[in-house]
Structure 1
């Protein structure tokens, strides 16, 4: 019943709409202000196309030829720390030149984002050009804006997800912008991430304050799970495997550890996530080392596909000496072990799961 009712209202409104205009009315589109040459040209052509498609109006190219004219103003405004382009389209009264109605379009990056709403906005502006003073004009304007939108516009399936309980066609411009912003940043607002990385981790060995060895090539692999407990804080636990051979300290072994990290999240813009972190390594297996150690570093990531491609830079330091497998001369001599300082740089990818509440 609802769809036939909207169709009937549309036909009634269209009939009433047509009775409020002359056979042909001339409209002049004034040169836009505030935008680039490309943006200005785009909106003049788009509005001219919408006006020309209406049988009641004709676009002219001089103020002297047309009793009505349209002003276009482009501005750049801030909304929730983001830059938004606002296009104000104003119909000017032919009698005294005062503004009759102003409608606005918004877009984030390119003017083409306004294609969807352009017909309804121009249609609403044209509905305010009367032949005679008739009170119900506002009522007709409302029907003309509402009914074609319900009848002819189908909301894409991926936009059926609502924001604040409203479907796409019921959102205000501000709510639609906020919905798009959240949709574009969902990748860095997940409850859980899982991923891995490959690194090169040079190791420096020090004994009694003296540099004993510098091992440049220590390859390592890390897999991990990360839980984003707050918008700015996450906890990561992983498993690291590496192979090390150093003749200077007589070691050759495969090492394993479990790093536990506390990460602080910085989320500038839509495409970048920066995570400074600190924590500790728990070594096990063949590796005997200091339990008093610190890991600190930085992950710098960007959105790729459905996850995050990141670069990982970190350093690990032992706060006390410990014997190393194979270095038999230090195995049983307390105080004659080695302290290790290790750096690493690597590349990894992590995939996010379950968008955090309030972030979609």
Structure 2
């Protein structure tokens, strides 16, 4: 086999090639050429660190397997990655890192390459001031996003979402492909998120820019959202913050406007609210059974307070453990939540309006 110097050092035997290497097809001799092409593409991106990887398949993989049968470990990837990284670093002035901003994946069979960009993560809090906006994009269940009469050919169940109102400006400013919102829990579509706001991490995918002034980003997002949503306390974060936000079990304080079937006495209502404090056994609500497993949850109500009462109408505040469904805490959900305000009073009630007024740290 006729091989180049680099392949000869890996294989350990063969005739040194003056022309084309039969092992790597002269990939090693073209490293500077490849690095120039890659560096040109990388100039489109804002980055400080990079790494390289390579892909082996087809005839090169077959050669590796053949040599392996002869007891030879032809590790072309490791050596080629080191050579390519050296050349890219020399041309760009950037350093190689195990946790890079960008990763170049080179195909040793076709001599093509692709660039993978590490997402940018931004932590913050959002307030949702209007109802009937979902937290994340909600695809129409009838057409699966294609567009139909049910969704007015938008492909979405709701006109917009918190995710879209935050993501669209961020994608524009970071010259990114897309963005994904990770929230610390979620409020119902018809509930507002007020008070101190809900913690979130925005994962910005495929960004060409990595560093945007966050005060400017906050201003642009809030202007674009037009008062429907507001973000604040933005800061750069990392992927670990996503896990923290998703896993944290925040207590929450809610304000609910309740309508009862018949008038209730204030004294009885106060007594029922007091009895509601403590352990709640709650099966998955019927309204979400189509998308969530039917299981029993045990949660706690910590505080209840009556803010207003007149006949059939009451406004109450409830502080509860994460994961408690407040609408069913009031209605009982046909016995799936016990105890409930309705079961304690002996009068059916339902939440007409619901606000999350604090997500507690």
Fold conserved between structures, TM > 0.5: no
TM-score (norm 1): 0.26
Structure number with greater Rg is: 1
Higher relative contact order (CA 8 A, sep 6+): 2
Greater helix share, structure number: 2
Q: What TM-score do you get using the length of structure 2 for normalisation? A: 0.26
